[in-house]
Amino acid sequence: MDEPTIPVCDYEGSRYRTEFWEGQGREYEDLTERIALRALLPPRGRRVAHLGAGFGRMTRELGGYDQVIVLDYSRTMLREAQAYLGDDPRYVFVAADIYHLPLAPGSCDAALMERVIHHMADVPAALRQIRSILAPGAAFVLEYANKRNLKAIARYWLRRQAWNPFDEEPVEFVALNFDFHPGAMARWLREAGFVTEKRRALSYFRLSLLKRAVPTRLLVALDGLLQPTGEWAPYSPSVFTLNRAAGDDPPAALDGPLFKCLNCGSPLHEDGQTVVCANGDGRWAIRDGIYDFKAPVS
Ligand SMILES: C[S@@+](CC[C@H](N)C(=O)[O-])C[C@H]1O[C@@H](n2cnc3c(N)ncnc32)[C@H](O)[C@@H]1O
Ligand SMILES: [Zn+2]
């Protein structure tokens, strides 16, 4: 997996934490996401995968799980996550591509992926990978950016935007940054083997004027009240969904080895500062507490 086959939005060296979140006036967005997540994700469980975890902004929300897989493509993001989250043996830091997950089939009973799928050019491929690591009945909380939002609709009707928010085609507004139609996302989730149980509409008040004029706590409370309307009318810029892994395949393997070989799928075992395939056709490094599947070691 030295070169990703599907393009990845590379956050290596990015200052996402300081340039997008800290002191950037996004407390409203952050808090509304926490409300949605707490309403959707089962609070306790065995093993949860936080996919595209970044610097771990939301990872502490997963504190009711015995083990938390903090997975991201960017090694520098994972270093920040280690510093941000501190020492806790429940966290397992993994550098890997969501399109090629090195996690064993059925090894997790929950997964969270927020603010990540908007970077994905091949959503069905990503969802299939995620479904494969989940045990039957596992909960998958997915956030996506919604192209059919009120602002986009108004701009379209005023002829200030060429693309149609009502058609199901994704819109790539910047390279590797996509907004998706709720109908398309619902279909892709279903085709990947998920049953969507709940949907929440978030961030209707994501307007700088409003955020400056109205106390954050009030906006967040109002947002929380509006979120359940996403069940039937998601016209907000961000949507959170709770999806269940349908069917009984792959069987649950919550106690088994966490990692699988990216070449043959066999379980991996630890050997010093590496993890090794039982078949002998792959070996990956563990560097300063990060299991690194971005490239094999020879
Ligand atoms: C906008 S950040 C969001 C981080 C975090 N989820 C949050 O909400 O704070 C997107 C993250 O997704 C990661 N990412 C994007 N594509 C990925 C892929 N194919 N595999 C793994 N991580 C990916 C990036 O490295 C980055 O850390
Ligand atoms: Zn192998």
Per-residue pLDDT of the chain (298 residues; tens, 9 = 90+): 556 689 999 999 999 999 999 999 999 999 999 999 999 999 999 999 999 999 999 999 999 999 999 999 999 999 999 999 999 999 999 999 999 999 999 999 999 999 999 999 999 999 999 999 999 999 999 999 999 999 999 999 999 999 999 999 999 999 999 999 999 999 999 999 999 999 999 999 999 999 999 999 999 999 999 999 999 999 999 999 999 999 999 999 999 999 999 999 999 999 999 999 999 999 999 999 999 999 999 8
Q: Which of 133, 155, 147 is nearest to 47 (CA)?
A: 133
Ligand 1, pocket-test mutation among 30, 50, 116, 238, most atoms within 8 A of CB: 116
Q: Give the ligand at the shortest distance from the Cα of 129.
A: 1
Ligand 1 nearest atom to the CA of residue 74, by list position: 25
- The CA-atom distances, in angstroms, between 155 and each of 15, 223, 230, 252, 298 are 31, 22, 21, 47, 54
- Residues 6 or more apart whose CB falls under 8 angstroms from that of 194 comprise 127, 131, 140, 243, 244, 245, 246
Ligand 1, pocket-test mutation among 6, 33, 72, most atoms within 8 A of CB: 72
Residue with tokens 């509409």: 201
Consecutive H or E run containing 49 = strand 45-51
Q: Give the ligand at the shortest distance from the Cα of 29.
A: 1
Identify the DSSP state of 231: G
- Residue 108 and residue 102: Cα distance in Å, rounded? 12
Ordered structural domains, the chain, with CATH: 16-255 (3.40.50.150), 259-293 (no CATH)
